[in-house]
Structure 1
Amino acid sequence: MYTKDGICYAGELVPDIEVSSIKILDDGMLLVEFSTGETRLFDVTSLLDKGSAFAPLSKEENRRTAKVIHSFVSWLDGEIDIAPETLYSESYKYSKEDYAF
């Protein structure tokens, strides 16, 4: 457990990983840019299996409220958030070349 910006989080802080920006995609997907310079793809719907705290994210309109606050991704004005190290470890490598049509 650790505290960052006055907020207590489960897990361990990985100091070199922060979320720089996100792009909300369709079907519950986020394109996440990290402080490492990497861009990764994260399936927000995968959080639905992690407990009732994430249940509001079953609705597309709630998933679309995602924004970056203090290098964390947050939904519903801070009601729900996820640490950057979790986003990183549970996301997939993304390259524009890999997904070009």
Structure 2
Amino acid sequence: MENYPRIKYLEPLPGYRLFIIFDNGDIKVYSLAERLQTPAFRALQDESLFITAHIANGGYGVIWNDDIDLSEYELWQKGVEVSNVNELVAKVA
């Protein structure tokens, strides 16, 4: 079984995005905009729920509640990598 980077730091951002730092040093921004249209993630359109995102034990994903979560693999594979400070500022603004 392949090991994927685990989540070390998480910050919910405006626009239903997540700022994530992984334990291998990768920094990514993951957008949930498309997922919010699916039944499983529709509840996250409530911003007060979205901002409660927190790291699962061991960094193996992001959890909102007992019903809504995302794996570290999904976030690492589909997140947009941030490679410099200017790019980071543009993505979080």
Q: Give the TM-score category using the shorter length.
A: 0.7 to 0.9
- Alpha-carbon separation, structure 1, partners of 2:29 and 2:49: 18
Judging by fraction of residues, say which structure has more strand.
1
Task: Tell me which stretches of 4 or more aligned residues in structure 1 moved more than 4 Å.
Answer: none
- Asked whether 1:41 is paired with 2:51, we answer no
Identity, in percent, stands at 18
Report the Cα offset of residue 14 of structure 1. 4.4
Alignment TM-score, normalising by the size of structure 1: 0.73
Judging by fraction of residues, say which structure has more helix.
2
2:70 to 75, 79, 82: 82
Alignment TM-score, normalising by the size of structure 2: 0.79
Structure 2 residue aligned with 1:96: 85
Structure with max Cα Rg: 1
Considering Cα pairs closer than 8 Å and 6+ residues apart, tell me whether 1 or 2 has the greater RCO.
2
Number of corresponding residues: 87
Q: Supply the RMSD in Å over aligned alpha carbons.
A: 1.9
Q: Which amino acid aligns with 1:57?
A: L
| Structure 2 unpaired stretches of 5+ | none
Does the 8 A contact of 1:14 with 1:85 survive in 2?
A: no
